[in-house]
Amino acid sequence: MNQHGFLCESISSNIFVVYDQQIYTPALSEGCIAGVMRNVVMGMAKSNGIPMVEAQINPEVLNEAEEVFITNATGGIRWVMGYGRKRYFNEISKDLSARLNQL
């Protein structure tokens, strides 16, 4: 989280939250790094018709999210299994990983 209490990034990865069939990621103005994989994922989502939104993200959305994944240049796209008692699906991140592996 950043100094204002909003999602920013994990220790070494950008974070993406799928909610209502849209992918949300913190805007760069929230203090996250403009990672290489962040840009790749955003481009792949847009080119495949998946709505991509850069926004200020309240951490409470993690309790309602359908899916959460993180990215970085060394690990690629990594699905987050859960947060607390909440468990997430692995659909969009799996699809994006498959598309990334085809490049």
Q: Residue 43: its pLDDT value, please? A: 96
pLDDT at 75: 94
Supply 31's token pair. 């203090």
Owning domain of residue 68? 14-96
Q: What is the CATH number of the domain that holds 65?
A: 3.20.10.10
Q: Is residue 103 part of a domain?
A: no
Structure confidence at residue 103 (pLDDT): 80
Residue showing tokens 């403009």 = 34
In a domain, 62, yes or no: yes
Picking from 39, 35, 41, 29, the residue whose alpha carbon sits closest to that of residue 10 is: 35
E-strand stretches of the chain: 14-19, 22-26, 52-55, 67-72, 76-79, 82-83, 86-87
Number of domains observed in the structure of the chain? 1
What does each of the 103 residues of the chain score in pLDDT, given as a tens digit? 999 999 999 989 999 999 999 999 999 999 999 999 999 999 999 999 999 999 999 999 999 999 999 999 999 999 999 999 999 999 999 999 999 999 8
Has residue 30 been placed in a domain?
A: yes
- Specify if 101 maps to a domain: no
pTM reported for the whole predicted model: 0.95
